Amino acid sequence: MVREKVTIISKEGLHARPADTLIKLTNQFVSKIEIVCGEDKTINAKSILHVLGAGIDCGAEVEVVCNGEDEQEASKTIVQAIKDGLDE
């Protein structure tokens, strides 16, 4: 299991466009990928409904958790995409 914290920099947070970019990215990997936001909210990062429903705003610190055979590559790729603003 790989865990890494990252701050959301997309201006509108994880709204429709960056969430869609994130979902397309996470679904390229076999590993289970979750986003932990706050102390008690863990969401499936491969589900557009979960990501949008989480209401993650700009400036929020989240933890990307990857578990599976390609977890290292998944974590590195996803965290870098978030740091880059998810194409926004």
| The one catalytic residue among 15, 41, 50, 76 | 15
Q: How far is CA 9 from the centre of its chain?
A: 12
Active site residue 50: no
Positive or negative, the Cα torsion across 12, 40, 27, 2? positive
Cβ atoms of residues 17 and 88 within 8 Å: yes
Looking at the annotation, which residues are catalytic? Answer: 15
